[in-house]
């Protein structure tokens, strides 16, 4: 189509622009959450007994009104791990996960939130280990319907220890793009 509508000299000028715009629209490949854990943590996680996250949250012995902070010191050490993967520091990547909002702007859009690998992580114990939590900074903000809405977050990952009343995280990300996962993604 481009060859019919545009003369050859102009076509050669437009092709690089078309290529650049295609790259700008392309999303980064998905990074698996387990890639944020060093191999020894993944092995320890694989060896850990399964934890049941089913059932009524408030009636469960795992209910945690305190949020993402670890409460049960009887859990294996991997559940408290802040060990990170140095090669990921400064890398542009895309993670899929669920938001735990921390701050909003005047329009009610979330500008600061934790991204967690599974829904309901803010109310279940044990929550993900710190190396499975990412503090996301997104000044543009995103309107969130609820915390059970899955998101794609793309940006630069940094190794950064974050400690607040709600959670401890081993990573932070300056997000370039945040969007809701759609049916087309599945």
Tell me what pLDDT residue 63 has: 44
Tell me what pLDDT residue 68 has: 64
Separation CA 63–CA 164 (nearest Å) = 19
The reported pTM is 0.77
Tell me what pLDDT residue 121 has: 77
Tell me what pLDDT residue 57 has: 47
Asked whether the beta carbons of 147 and 94 are under 8 A apart, the reply is no
Tell me what pLDDT residue 50 has: 75
Per-residue pLDDT of the chain (186 residues; tens, 9 = 90+): 444 444 455 444 444 433 333 344 578 999 999 999 999 999 998 998 876 555 444 444 444 455 666 566 677 899 999 999 999 999 999 999 999 999 999 999 999 999 999 987 766 556 899 999 999 999 999 999 899 999 999 999 999 999 988 899 999 999 999 999 999 998
């Amino acid at each position: 189509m481009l060859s019919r509508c545009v003369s050859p000299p102009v076509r050669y000028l437009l092709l690089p622009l078309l290529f650049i715009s295609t790259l700008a629209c392309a999303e980064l490949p998905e990074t698996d959450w387990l890639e944020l854990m060093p191999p020894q943590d993944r092995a320890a996680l694989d060896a850990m007994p399964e934890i049941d996250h089913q059932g009524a949250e408030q009636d469960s012995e795992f209910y945690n009104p305190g949020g993402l902070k670890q409460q049960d010191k009887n859990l294996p050490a991997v559940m408290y791990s802040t060990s990170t993967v140095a090669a990921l520091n400064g890398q542009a990547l895309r993670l899929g996960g669920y938001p735990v909002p921390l701050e909003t702007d005047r329009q009610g859009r979330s500008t600061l939130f934790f991204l967690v690998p599974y829904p309901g992580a803010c109310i279940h114990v044990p929550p993900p280990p710190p190396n499975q939590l990412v503090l996301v900074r997104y000044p543009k903000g995103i309107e969130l319907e609820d915390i059970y809405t899955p998101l794609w977050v793309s940006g630069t990952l940094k190794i950064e220890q974050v400690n607040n009343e709600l959670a401890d995280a081993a990573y932070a990300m300056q997000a370039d793009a945040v969007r809701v996962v759609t049916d087309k993604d599945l």
